[in-house]
Amino acid sequence: MMHDAADDLLSDLAGLFAGEADPIANAANAAAAIWQHVPRINWAGFYFLKDGELVLGPFQGKPACVRIALGRGVCGTAAARRETLVVADVHAFPGHIACDGASNSEIVVPLLRDGALLGVLDIDSPELARFGAAERVLFEAAARAWTDSLGG
């Protein structure tokens, strides 16, 4: 990913979140901004923790799985471990949930605030090994920007 595209995305998020603390509105704009700025992806969006499971939030891309159990698939595993997962080949990931068969690689960043798990930011690509260290830094910063936008 080009450094400028990362800067543009984070700059856009800062502007979109300025003065706005609504989590759904900010997640919707974040998903749209990621979709706009990040090439070679086929899904970008949020899952929120509700009643002990991840529930689909705002996203860009094809319709997706609505509910994901903690510990299940890439999203559920990242949430349960509370750590970012970068998966080069989702088909080799144990328990992978194929919401879109065209997705081949994935990065999932947990949304953490004051130690509490709020959900995950999930980005998929049709390319194998699409995400690396640069994308991990970028999407972790984007996730932090979203959680920071929630205010007090």
Residue 76 DSSP SS3: helix
Q: Among the listed ranges 35-49, 50-64, 90-104, 122-136, which one has the minimum average pLDDT value?
A: 90-104
CA angle 85, 86, 91 (to 5 degrees): 100
- The whole-model pTM stands at 0.95
Q: Which fold has domain 3-149?
A: Beta-Lactamase (3.30.450)
Asked if residue 16 has pLDDT above 90, the reply is yes
Residue 32 DSSP SS3: helix
In this structure, what token pair is assigned to residue 26? 């900010």
